[in-house]
């Protein structure tokens, strides 16, 4: 401020001459007062004259910076406070979010952090959302713009909502539908809510059954196992599998040859290869023999249960009987009960094209049921299923309102006050962890990835490995300490050690490279 802008310089011009002459002391007092008010930073005149500039962080004076810190709750050890305050509104709007935690940590330490929310891995009762979808083939290629649009059959008036679109070839689309009402008919014209495009519906395999006729068990076969595959010679991409087989019991025993020298009361001993979790073997005795000791009748005293393959007579407890040929009959043992279609096709039209890839299964008759809609059910969420990925709530770490920050430094010991007052959401519980890289003390360098288990054939480096497991089990690592280089090299040579790294709740194969 120049001298000419000061009030003290202008006082004499505004005080009347008679006051200056008759009351000179008063005039001097007024002038001295204004000189004082202009001499110090925080005197009234300076405050009034500069209040607009001081309210701006870019033009304020250093003595007032601490007031900005107090007003904005700013206790960050940063240099460019003006830049922070000018963006404070945007920063405040993301307070408590993962974005704000990463931003503040970058400001404070210049390092990245990982944020983990345990509530994403909590078992929640009745959380599985069961959804029913239908697949349908149409003879027109649709763009993804048709997702969430309605499809309507002109003849059947059936309708559904398109959830997803897959392109089979240049002239065929597979649509995933929800909220289907009615049954589309083969080759009927369909329209869409997005536009007036007309297309026709192609056939699809609705289901596969194993039976010769009706709902009896003839044709369901025997000795099949769950997960036996079903393919088609009409389309190599088509795939199905047996998901359920029947458990049977002993129905009868056919005497093909009675043998000789058997006696009434001889006991038949059974074995079964494939069985249910709960099963019981049958019990049978020879009840009638001929004059030569040939078996003529067998009394089945207990039929047993839980057989997934036909039981076999392993031996007969007898004094001298030999050369009998007995055949066990069990209609349901390993009979096909349910088949799931994994990858459908509009090219599969003949039951005779189906083939079962099985080890021991026999005599199944497969029936192909064609239609326009293939129904399948699935869970959209799996948080209510028991697994090693989802955890029970403990009201501490494993709870809805907790989160963990992992970084290369101990952030809470340095900035706990900043995180608590500036970032931390009320009602949440904060955990922190320090990420540690796997290290190896050797005389020659080699690289070790994150490892849970390690072994080299029959050689196990058990005595040289210490395992360190994080609380959330998302990242597990080990540390190999004091391993002489020649011990590893002599044992491994040019081999690569197989290992496993846990990522996002599942084990992923990894390797240790020795160099």
Residue 322 sits in the same domain as residue 274: yes
442 and 507, same domain (yes or no): yes
| Distant-in-sequence, close-in-space partners of 168: CB < 8 Å, separation ≥ 6 | 137, 174, 346
Q: Could you tell me which residue, 192 or 267, shows the higher pLDDT? A: 267
Examine residue 325 and state whether it is found in any structural domain, yes or no.
Answer: yes
Q: What is the mean pLDDT of residues 364-376?
A: 85
Give the chain's domain count: 5
pLDDT at 98: 83
pLDDT at 446 over 70: no
Strands (E), 319-389: 325-329, 336-343, 354-357, 362-364, 366-371, 374-379
Of the CA atoms within 13 Å of residue 135, those in its CB half-sphere come to 23
Cα(341)–Cα(351) distance, integer angstroms = 14
Of 265 and 459, more confident: 265
305, 329, 353 - which closes a domain: 329
Residue 154 confidence class, pLDDT cut points 50, 70, 90: confident
Residue 464 predicted with pLDDT over 70: no
Residue 72 lies in a domain: no
Q: How many other C-beta atoms are found inside a 10 Å radius of the C-beta of residue 177?
A: 22
Same domain assignment for residues 461 and 508:
yes
Indicate whether 399 belongs to any domain.
no
**Domain assignment present for 418:** no
For helices 24-37 and 7-14, angle between their N-to-C axes, nearest 10 degrees: 160
Sequence-distant (≥ 6) Cβ neighbours of residue 428 within 8 angstroms: 96, 401, 402, 403
Same domain, residue pair 197 and 303: no
Q: Identify the pLDDT of residue 77.
A: 65
**Please, what is the average pLDDT of the chain?**
77
Domain assignment present for 392: no
* Candidate ranges 13-17, 399-403, 505-509; pick with highest mean pLDDT: 399-403
**Claim to verify: residue 197 and residue 211 sit in the same structural domain:** no
Question: Is residue 80 domain-resident?
Answer: no
Name, in order, each residue with C-beta under 8 angstroms of 236's C-beta and a sequence gap of 6 or more: none
> Which of 312, 329, 346 corresponds to the end of one domain?
329
The pLDDT of residue 262 is 95
For residue 63, tell me if it sits in a domain. no
* CB atoms near residue 11 (< 10 Å): 18
Q: pLDDT category, 229, cuts 50, 70, 90?
A: very high
Task: Rank 34-38, 329-333, 431-435 by mean pLDDT and report only the highest.
Answer: 329-333
**End position of a domain, from candidates 140, 172, 202:** 202
- Higher per-residue confidence, 167 vs 438: 167
pLDDT of residue 459: 37
Q: Report yes or no on 177 lying in a domain.
A: yes
> Can you give the pLDDT at residue 475?
37
DSSP assigned state of 292: T
Q: Which of 302, 303, 309 is nearest to 246 (CA)?
A: 309
Same structural domain, 349 and 372: yes
10 and 38 co-located in one domain: yes
Whether 445 and 477 share a structural domain: yes
Q: Is the pLDDT assigned to residue 322 strictly greater than 80? A: yes
* Residue 80's pLDDT band (cuts 50, 70, 90): low
Q: Indicate whether 241 and 341 sit together in one domain.
A: yes
CA distances from 157 to 91, 97, 188, 325, 443 (A): 54, 48, 10, 62, 77
Same domain, 29 and 172: no
| Residue 311, domain extent | 252-329
User: Is residue 165 domain-shared with residue 40, that is, in the same domain?
Assistant: no
pLDDT value of position 306: 93
* Residue 333, pLDDT above cutoff 70: yes
Arithmetic mean of pLDDT, 300-319: 93
Together in a domain, 211 and 343: yes
Please give the pLDDT value at position 268. Answer: 95
């Amino acid at each position: 401020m120049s001298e000419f802008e000061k009030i003290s310089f202008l006082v004499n011009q505004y005080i009347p001459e008679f006051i200056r002459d008759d009351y000179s002391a008063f005039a001097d007092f007024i002038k001295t007062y204004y000189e004082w008010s202009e001499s110090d930073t925080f005197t009234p005149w300076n405050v009034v004259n500069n209040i607009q500039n001081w309210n701006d962080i870019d033009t304020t004076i250093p003595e007032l910076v601490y007031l900005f810190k107090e007003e904005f709750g700013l206790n960050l050890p940063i240099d460019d406070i003006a830049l922070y305050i000018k963006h404070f509104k945007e920063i405040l709007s993301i307070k408590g979010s993962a974005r704000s935690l990463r931003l503040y940590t970058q400001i404070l330490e210049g390092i990245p952090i990982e944020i983990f929310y345990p509530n994403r891995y909590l078992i929640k009762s009745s959380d599985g959302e069961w959804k029913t979808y239908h697949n349908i083939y149409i003879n027109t290629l649709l763009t993804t713009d048709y997702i969430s649009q309605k499809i309507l059959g002109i003849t059947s008036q059936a309708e559904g909502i398109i959830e997803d679109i897959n392109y089979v070839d240049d002239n065929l689309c597979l649509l995933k539908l929800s909220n289907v009402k009615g049954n589309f008919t083969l080759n009927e014209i369909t329209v869409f809510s997005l536009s007036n495009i007309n297309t026709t519906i192609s056939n699809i395999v609705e289901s596969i059954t194993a039976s010769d006729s009706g709902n009896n068990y003839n044709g369901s076969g025997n000795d099949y196992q769950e997960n036996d595959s079903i393919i088609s010679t009409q389309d190599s991409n088509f795939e199905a599998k047996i998901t359920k087989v029947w458990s049977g019991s002993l129905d009868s025993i056919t005497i093909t040859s009675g043998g000789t020298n058997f006696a009434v009361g001889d006991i038949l001993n059974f074995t079964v290869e494939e069985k249910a979790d709960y099963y019981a073997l049958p019990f049978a005795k020879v009840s009638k023999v001929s004059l030569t000791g040939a078996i003529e009748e067998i009394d089945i005293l207990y039929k047993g249960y839980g057989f997934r393959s036909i039981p076999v007579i392993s031996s007969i407890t007898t004094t001298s009987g030999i050369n009998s040929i007995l055949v066990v009959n069990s209609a349901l043992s390993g009979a096909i009960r349910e088949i799931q279609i994994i990858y459908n096709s509009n090219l599969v039209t003949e039951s005779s094209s189906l083939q079962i890839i099985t080890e021991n299964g026999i005599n199944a008759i497969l029936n192909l049921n064609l239609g326009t809609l293939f129904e399948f059910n699935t869970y959209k969420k799996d948080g209510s299923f028991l697994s090693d990925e989802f955890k029970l709530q403990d009201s501490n770490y494993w709870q809805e309102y907790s989160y963990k920050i992992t970084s290369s430094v101990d952030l809470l010991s340095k900035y706990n006050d900043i995180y608590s007052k500036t970032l931390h959401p009320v009602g949440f519980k904060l955990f922190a962890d320090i990420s540690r890289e796997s290290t190896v003390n050797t005389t020659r360098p080699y690289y070790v990835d994150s490892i849970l288990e390690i072994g080299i054939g029959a050689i196990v480096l058990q005595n040289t490995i210490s395992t360190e497991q994080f609380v959330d089990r998302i990242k597990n690592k080990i540390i190999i300490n004091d391993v002489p280089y020649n011990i590893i090299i002599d044992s491994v040579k040019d081999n690569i050690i197989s290992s496993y790294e846990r990522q996002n709740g599942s084990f992923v194969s990894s390797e240790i490279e020795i160099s």
